[in-house]
Structure 1
C-alpha cells in the first residue's frame, strides 16, 4: 500500500532541495524525520512537513479502510523534486543593459510504502 503527498509551488530552487531529498530517499519515515530535523537547509523544513503529511495520509482511515498502518514499517519509496514555474524579474546593468533574474519554484512529491 502506498501513500502520497505533494507540495507544489514551493519557493525554493529544485537544485537546493535535491541533495536533501537524496539523503532521505529509501530511509524509514521516522529516521528521515530525525535526519531532517538537524539539517540547516530551508528545503529540509519543506521535506519534513511533506513527510509528516504523507504519514498523516497513511493514518487516515478513509485512505486505507480495514487496514491499520504501523508507522515503524513505513519507508520512503520515492522522493521527487521537479522544477516549477519561475518568476522572471529584470535588473538594470551597466551601459543600459538588463539581465534577467529567475526566481525558481519546485514541486515536491513523496511516496511512502509499507515494508
Structure 2
C-alpha cells in the first residue's frame, strides 16, 4: 500500500529542492525526518512538511504499518514561472524569473 502527498506552487527553484530530495530518497521515514530536521537549507523545511503530510495520510489507512514506511519515490517538478522586471540603466528592463516547484512524496512499506 502506498501513501502520497504533494505540495504545489512552492517558492523555491526546483534545482535547490532536488538537492534536498536526493539526500533522503530511499530512506526510512524516521531517518529521513531526522536528516531533514538538521539540514540547514530552505528546501529541507519544505520537503519535511510534505513528508510529514504523507505520513499523516498513511496513518489514515489501517492496513499500513507506519513504522515500516520508507520513501519509495520523491521528485520535484517545475511549476509555473513568475516573470518580473527590474529597471536598469538608460531605460532598459532586466527580466527576473522566479521559479516555483511542485514536490511529491510517495511512501511504501518494506
> TM-score scaled to structure 1, two decimals?
0.91
Residue equivalent to 2:16 = 16
The runs of 4+ residues in structure 1 deviating greater than 6 Å are none
Q: 2:85 aligns with which of 84, 90, 110?
A: 90
> TM-score scaled to structure 2, two decimals?
0.95
| Cα separation, 1, equivalents of 2:88 and 2:99 | 21
| Cα separation, 1, equivalents of 2:76 and 2:96 | 21
Shift of 1:42: 0.9
Residue equivalent to 2:51 = 51
Shift of 1:98: 1.1
Number of equivalenced pairs:
110
Instruction: Structure 1 unaligned segments of length 5 or more: list them.
Output: none
Q: 2:105 aligns with which of 86, 104, 110?
A: 110
Q: CA RMSD in A?
A: 1.0
Shift of 1:71: 2.3
